[in-house]
Amino acid sequence: MKLQPSKNGKRHKWTRRQIAMLGTISDAALSRKLGLCTGTVFEKRQKLGITASRPAKTINWTREVIASLGKIPDSEVARIHGMNILTVYKKRVDLGIQCYARKSKTWHYWTKKEIALLGKMPDGDVALRTGINKASVAWKRCKLEIPPFTQKRPKKLLTDWTRKEIAVLGKMTDAAAAATLDLAHSAVRLKRISLGIPPFGRSSSR
């Protein structure tokens, strides 16, 4: 039986441009480009019937390989037999074989409150708060297609600068100033230009 994402999970909303990119490059490369999990890209491409950029090699599913499904983690099956972990996962699910983790003591049943934390803070913080392994937290978040937590930098108005902050401009690169002031690179650059301050390393005189 195919697992369905929890209703509490935020599914990725695919744009026409993103869909058009499916199959043009590898799923792994596209996942990095879009900031998504490889599994999310793989499932979307499969659902739309789009051929992979690289034809998948034929897998010889012997009795021995199939017998190992669910007996050990999917990652181990993939490593031993030189397969992609998603290929192993899909085969196991298609055959209705229960995953290895559910049989172990480390299996965790996710509550609604725990799921609500995913993507709201770094995976490491969720792991510390819930007592769940960080890798399991990342896997669950990816499974529910919840994007990773990203720290939103505060917006800075051109008129909302202190003298100490302005004094930093031009004394170091805009990137370094942005990191020092905990601001967006674009905000630092825009303020420096508005004040006519030359970038670091360049003299104001011609």
Final residue of a domain: which of 45, 79, 106? Answer: 106
Final residue of a domain: which of 106, 138, 172? Answer: 106
pLDDT in tens, 20-47: 888 888 887 888 888 888 778 888 888 8
Residue 12 belongs to some domain of the structure: no
Query: What's the rounded mean pLDDT across residues 11-15?
Result: 84
Question: Rounded to whole angstroms, what are the CA distances from 67 to 62, 88, 92?
Answer: 8, 12, 10
Residue 47 belongs to some domain of the structure: no
pLDDT in tens, 132-184: 777 778 878 887 888 888 766 666 677 788 898 899 998 888 888 887 887 87
The per-residue pLDDT for 133 is 75
Number of C-beta neighbours around residue 125 at 10 A:
14
Q: Would you place residue 7 in the very low, low, confident or very high pLDDT band (cuts 50, 70, 90)?
A: very low
The per-residue pLDDT for 54 is 65
**How many domains are there within the chain?**
2
The per-residue pLDDT for 167 is 92
Residue 174 belongs to some domain of the structure: yes
Residue 50 belongs to some domain of the structure: no
Residue 6 belongs to some domain of the structure: no
pTM beyond 0.75: the answer is no
pLDDT in tens, 82-117: 788 878 888 887 887 877 766 665 567 788 899 999
Final residue of a domain: which of 106, 126, 143? Answer: 106
Residue 5 has pLDDT above 70, yes or no: no
Q: Give the residue, 128 or 3, on which the prediction is more confident.
A: 128
Residue 129 belongs to some domain of the structure: no
Residue 205 belongs to some domain of the structure: yes
Residue 132 belongs to some domain of the structure: no
| 1 closest CA partner among 98, 88, 74 | 98
Query: What's the rounded mean pLDDT across residues 179-202?
Result: 85
**CB distance 23 to 52 below 8 Å:** yes
Which residue range(s) make up the domain with 82?
57-106
The per-residue pLDDT for 8 is 37
Q: How far apart are CA 129 and CA 138, in angstroms?
A: 14
Question: In the structure encoding, which two tokens stand for residue 63, read together?
Answer: 């009795």
